[in-house]
Chain A
Amino acid sequence: MNIPANLRYTASHEWVRSEADGTVTIGITDHAQAALGDLVYLELPEAGRKVAAAEACAVVESVKAASDIYAPVAGEIIEANKPVAEAPEQVNKDPYGSWLFKLRPAEPAAVGRLLDARAYEASIGDE
């Protein structure tokens, strides 16, 4: 299972990358895409939406099931990845290259409290 060491993670299988400009980029992990199976539809949040930590703000649907995607930290959505919404299979092919949305955290330190790669790997092992 591919779990890059330079990212942060949530127990609900989002990956989070901190950018130089203070925003964060969010996608779903390799483990999540494998568990969901072939993705066929993405519903992404509008820019400008304010979200709370752990608020459901996107939906990914595979052939098998629909699954909510949660905001890893509180903040404001600044962009959704429209090209990937048109080609959801990209998330299966390249889960860490196919981000879903970016947000500006309300509290910059919040990202540092998310799981690191080792803790995320352990959390998967418990499932």
Chain B
Amino acid sequence: MLKQTPLNASHRAAGARMVDFGGWDMPVNYGSQIDEHNAVRTDAGMFDVSHMQIVDLEGAGARDFLRYALANNVDKLKVPGKALYSCLLKPEGTVIDDLIVYFLREDFFRIVVNAGTAEKDIAWLRGLLATRAPRLSLRPRTDLAMIAVQGPQARAKVWRALPGAEVATAPLKPFVATRVDSGWGELFVARTGYTGEDGFEIAIAAPHAADLWRALVAAGVRPAGLGARDTLRLEAGMNLYGQDMDENVSPLESGLAWTIDLASPRDFVGKAALLARPPSRQLTGLVLVGKGGVLRAHQAVRTDRGDGEITSGTFSPTLNQSIALARLPAGVAPGETVRVLVRDRELAARVVKPPFARNGKSLLPPAS
């Protein structure tokens, strides 16, 4: 039996094509994935992300615990509401999950983890808590639903749907959240997302999620499925857990070095292993040169420095060309041409530094 979010009936009523996504019954599109993608790049679209798990960490010493538990440094979080992207690592220095942590109060941090990994993440964190901070409470918020509204018009349309939220949320800077009272109870509104566009992610009490969804539709926000979510995040150069990194690879070989704080003196889970094993591979972007197919995960990549593999690939509606993330030998540089095995042919692809597109525009250097 697939798990359902509180918006399941809303998706079905809108004619969504539903798929099994890691045990959840989720919309992959409501008709055209490319139209949904373009709506987010040019106007406003929304995603049901209620399958992702919100977990609240509460109690004295929460920050100190997270300093040790997370690879990124929560000391960067100084203003209440501020968010940080981080990996959760194994002691071996590989990736258990990637997450966003919000600093709300010194004794209250909110963590959002991936759907498919939520159970193991919570078990892992509880294990760490038992030995290091047994008095902290870790509470999965299964009572909350979450809607991500994304696009250049996303904030304006949220305010049209929720006029009372504008005063509190208009001053929010990117990667900052706040709590807002509404007729549907308390909302948690964060200026975050997974598309490379402006917008909000809104957590709401599950019984009111369909009301908010309906109000957003009335305000002109287009429902978008997991298909568009994947092409948008890939254009924005964002990793997908389970595809671009997992428990078998180092974050330093997954394009995530910027999230790993090896500079500060603090110790954290996985630090010693990362220091002991410098990366020999890198995650980089590829753009197909010409036509001949679509780059996809698991296709082999041949370079002058050895072989690699595509971890995520798709057709980019914004670039009108196929793009990919690939794990390649260290030293392969942007601008170089590599060969990708697509079916029985080798197709040329250019190495680029992600992101590929953000804020509605291609970020690629002109082809030389």
A41 adjacent to B29 (CB under 8 Å): no
Q: CB within 8 A of A66: which of B29, B33, B294, B317?
A: B294
**B292: chain A residues within 8 A (beta carbon):** 41, 43
Q: Which residues of chain B from 292 to 332 have any CB-CB distance to chain A below 8 Å in the complex?
A: 292-294, 296, 314-315, 317, 322
B32 within 8 A of A: yes
Q: Are A40 and B294 in contact (CB under 8 A)?
A: yes
A37-B29, A38-B34, A92-B32 given as contacts; is B315 within 8 A of A63 (CB)? yes
Known contacts: A59-B343, A63-B231, A64-B227. The answer to whether A41 contacts B32 by CB under 8 A is no
Bound: A34/B17 CA distance, A: 9
What 0/1 pattern do residues 47 to 90 of A give for CB contact below 8 A with B?
00000000000010101111000000000000000000000010
| In the bound complex, CA of A43 to CA of B293 (Å) | 8
Tell me which residues across on chain B come within 8 A of A43, comparing CB atoms.
Answer: 292-293
Within 8 A of A (CB), among B26-43: 28-29, 32-34
Q: Per-residue 0/1 for B3-21: is the Cβ within 8 Å of any A Cβ (1 yes, 0 no)? A: 0000000000000010000
B291 contacts A by Cβ under 8 Å: yes
A89 vs B32: C-alpha distance in the bound complex, in angstroms? Answer: 10
Contact present for B34 and A63 (CB under 8 Å): yes
Contacts of B291 in A (CB 8 A): 41
Bound-state CA distance A65–B29 (Å) is: 14
Q: Which residue of B lies closest to A88 (CB)?
A: B315
Chain A's closest residue to B32 (CB) is A38
Bound state CA distance, A41 and B322, in angstroms? 10
> Scoring A residues 27 to 47 as 1 if CB is less than 8 Å from chain B, else 0, what string do you get?
000000010011011010000
Contacts of B32 in A (CB 8 A): 37-38, 92
Contacts of A63 in B (CB 8 A): 33-34, 227, 231, 294, 314-315, 317
Residues of B within 8 A of A61 (CB): 293-294, 315
B322 contact set on A, CB distance < 8 A: 40-41
Q: How many angstroms between the C-alpha atoms of A59 and B28 in the bound complex? A: 22
CB distance from B39 to the nearest CB of A (A): 13
Given contacts A63-B314, A63-B315, contact A37 B293 (CB under 8 A): no
Chain A hits for B317, CB < 8 A? 63
Q: Which residue of A lies closest to B37 (CB)?
A: A63
Q: Which residue of B lies closest to A89 (CB)?
A: B34
- B343 adjacent to A40 (CB under 8 Å): no
Distance in Å: Cβ of A33 to nearest Cβ of chain B: 11
For the complex, what is the distance from the CA of A95 to the CA of B227, rounded to whole Å?
A: 21
Q: Is the beta-carbon distance between B33 and A38 smaller than 8 angstroms? A: yes
How many angstroms from the CA of A61 to the CA of B314 in the assembled complex? Answer: 10
Closest-by-CB residue of A relative to B225 is A37
Of chain B, the residue at the smallest CB distance from A35 is B17
Which residues of chain A are near B17, meaning CB under 8 Å? 34, 37
Report chain B residues within 8 Å CB of A40. Answer: 294, 315, 322
Min CB distance, A75 to chain B, in Å? 23
Residues on A with beta carbons closer than 8 Å to the beta carbon of B315: 40-41, 61, 63
CA separation between A64 and B36, bound complex, in Å? 14
Q: Mark B321-351, 1 if CB is under 8 A from A, else 0.
A: 0100000000000000000000100000000
Closest beta carbon of chain A to B292's beta carbon, Å = 8
CA distance in complex: A92, B32 (Å): 9
Which residues on the B side are within 8 Å of A41 (C-beta)?
A: 291-294, 315, 322
- Can you name 8 A-B pairs with beta carbons within 8 Å? A38-B32, A41-B291, A41-B293, A41-B315, A63-B314, A63-B315, A64-B28, A92-B32
Interface on A for B, CB 8 Å cutoff?
Answer: 34, 37-38, 40-41, 43, 59, 61, 63-66, 89, 92
